Structure 1
């Protein structure tokens, strides 16, 4: 079995453009093993890339659902063939730690303009004129989001270890929300 280490962050338009009617498809006899994150909405990207590879003759195994750092490490080791998502710059540290450009191939973008942010319900935002996360410094505003009565706003965020965790923690510090601590960091979770 031949393993090719690649990062499927490209649109794979060039792969799809290859004639699938050729007698010898480029993937004939090659099995690939995708990895995908535990985020269900990223399944589409994995299925899209898997379908393109199947059309090129590759045998595509069922994806392994793992955290990003495990995916990068397993691709670098040759245990997995690809992951169809690579969020830059959020994943840059994990990508580099697993070998970066020396171990992976990534080209192009098929999801652009992605953004991160904080969401609250419209009714609360309008009633209390909340327009920015730094308003959580106000104990009365923070109390609105205190679900466990510990006097701190509870923030639901991403899985610990993901790039967005670092962004959230940076913003908590940058907006002065850590001292006095109106936000419970331990509740950053998906």
Structure 2
């Protein structure tokens, strides 16, 4: 009896210990699965070819990896190819959609096989015309139509042809066509000369003139490093300009550094959105919820784009800057991740 009893007690304790260990192991596994719902899932992103797309791309890579996903290196694709790749499942998502600008580039069946999420950077894809702040104040400039006034034309005439010079875009760019269409539609050719050299050269000329205290009118867009070199609301101001099509006549509200609120930019302000394959989303509710949650500030995207330009950073060298931003905004990021994890439960 004693020997049997002696043998039974350790066995009982061992069974309890084993049960506890198993329960602990299952609980630990459950916690791990909850924290990393993407564990074991490979994800293939696409990324746009312009530089300001890079920090946006790495932000989603970093966050998906925190959810446990095995995210592959983003493949650089042109817009139409990216949307085709998503619709066919060759890429799982692309965080660089500019809408409505990219609407014509979507495949016919895109809405059946893919999803466009609410903007992670609403109205961030802005483009339009800017004037140095001292000239805004001196000449009372509020819009492009002010450049039909003789005193304004004379002040902004850098080439001596009697017209105000608009430092714009080179041939082949969409903005080149947009500027020329505006000049033609609103009969501004006799008042404004579109300087259509390479954009970097044009911006350098506008920057040089403004730094020298001379007037300058130029076109730019954001997110971009250009918005850091001449800061709207400080060095320069966005001015009103009519759109060349009816849809572009809508006024934008809350544009930082604009002469009016709302302001007529002349171009549609694009929402920057994630596009993703529906099959991927259905299989990965955590990723889908993350795409719904993320919001990225225009100023930060432009700052990283500026650093890329100034320091000649590679795509890989941008990633630590993204990780730093995530660390600085940890509380907000954790809310996004918590929502994504809850969606997977």
Give the TM-score normalised by the residue count of structure 2: 0.39
Q: Which has the larger radius of gyration?
A: 2
Q: Does 1:182 align with 2:188?
A: no
**Shift, 1:52, TM fit:** 2.4
Partner of 2:111: 101
Partner in structure 2 of residue 13 of structure 1: none
Secondary structure of 1:26's counterpart equals coil
Contact 2:170/2:196, CA 8 A, preserved across alignment? no
Residue among 46, 60, 70 paired with 1:49? 60
Q: Name the CA distance, whole Å, in 2 between partners of 1:168 and 1:135.
A: 16
Secondary structure in structure 2 of the residue aligned to 1:86: strand
- Which structure has greater helix proportion? 2
Counterparts of 1:29-48 in structure 2, within 5 Å, are 29-40=41-52, 42-48=53-59
CA–CA distance in 2 between the matches of 1:158 and 1:59? 41
Q: Conserved in 2, the CA contact under 8 Å of 1:137 and 1:176? A: no
| Contact 2:43 2:70 (8 Å CA) reproduced | yes
The alignment covers a number of residue pairs equal to 168
1:102-130 Cα shifts (integer Å, max 9, x gaps):
45321222222444432111012222222
Q: Greater RCO between the two (CA within 8 Å, min separation 6)?
A: 2
Aligned residues of 1:71 and 1:83 also touching (Cα < 8 A): yes
Question: Following the alignment from structure 2 to structure 1, what is the Cα–Cα distance between the partners of residues 154 and 90?
Answer: 47
Q: Distance in 2 between matches of 1:56 and 1:159?
A: 44
Task: Give distance in 2, aligned partners of 1:88 and 1:187.
Answer: 27
Aligned-pair Cα RMSD in Å: 3.8
Q: Does structure 2 retain, via aligned residues, the 8 Å contact 1:134–1:176?
A: no
Task: Note the C-alpha offset of 1:64.
Answer: 4.0
Q: TM-score, normalised by structure 1?
A: 0.63
8 Å CA contact 1:154–1:187 kept in 2: the answer is no
| Aligned counterpart in structure 1 of residue 134 of structure 2, from 84, 108, 123 | 123
Q: Specify the SS of the correspondent of 1:126.
A: helix
With over 3 angstroms needed to count, the CA separation of the structure-2 counterparts of 1:50 and 1:133, relative to structure 1, is same
Of the candidates 138, 141, 145, which is equivalent to residue 134 of structure 1?
145
Is 1:58 equivalent to 2:69 in the alignment? Answer: yes
